[in-house]
Amino acid sequence: MLNRKSLEDGTFLNAFKNVPGLDWWPEERIESSMQSMLASRPPQEPIWVFAYGSLIWNPLFQFAESCPATLPGWRRSFCIHLFVGRACSTRPGRMMALAAGGVTEGLALRLSEDCVEEELRVIWRREMVGGAYRPTWTRVTLSDGRSVPALTFTAETQSKLYQAQDDIDTIAPLIAAAEGPLGPNRDYVLQLYSALRQHGIEDAYIQQLAECVRSGD
């Protein structure tokens, strides 16, 4: 189960240790990746995390401030092959990341300086289990006009799980059919669509995909 406790005690990470076909990251590699990103942190700037998917409705880490934000140059994309969680090897689906191009609206979540490493470690253990994401420093514009650097998890295009073809006609049938121990793949899409609407965020790609998987088309 994905919750803060399972991230902190290693249960979530170790659940994927022996999954065939997954580039499992041990705790040491995850920590090294996190420390590398911290070392390249923009100087004299707070740390914001850009939330564009499940981090919007289920962040699991503590933050001091939340603000609507816009990220140029990236778009939501179901471009990661999924065969665990909400899918399985016989009913694979897709997981979302950010792909180059377009623009994405989401939330920027600012970490408190007194617990930066503790909270980032929770995020890294969640996002970097299989190396499908690439942590990147981006720049987002907050709804109040501020421009701030933000830590963003984009698609790792060198991962063997990356699938460049992410159009609705390709991914909707996969997501509609996929199901795993955590439930149907389509539930993630519908929950994402609902969360975006709650925050007044419009994304035509997600809306169209939600309509397709809801109808079963």
**More confident: 216 or 183:** 183
Give the per-residue pLDDT at 68.
98
Q: What is d(CA 140, CA 213) in angstroms, rounded to the nearest whole number?
A: 30
pLDDT value, residue 208 = 98
Instruction: For residue 188, give the nearest of 56, 74, 72, 91 by alpha carbon.
Output: 56
Cα atoms in the Cβ-side hemisphere of radius 13 Å centred on 17? 8
Where do runs of H (alpha helix) occur along the chain? 4-8, 11-14, 27-39, 54-57, 116-127, 168-177, 185-198, 204-215
Active site residue 119: no
Domain count, the chain: 1
pLDDT digits (tens, 9 = 90+) for 7-30: 999 999 999 999 998 999 999 999
How many residues are recorded in the chain? 217
Residue 216: what pLDDT? 62
pLDDT confidence tier of residue 106, bands split at 50, 70 and 90 = very high
The parent domain of residue 49 ranges over: 4-215
- What global pTM score does this model have? 0.96
Q: What CATH number is given to the structural domain containing 182? A: 3.10.490.10
pLDDT at position 182: 87
**Of residues 105, 119, 127, 156, which has the active-site annotation?**
127
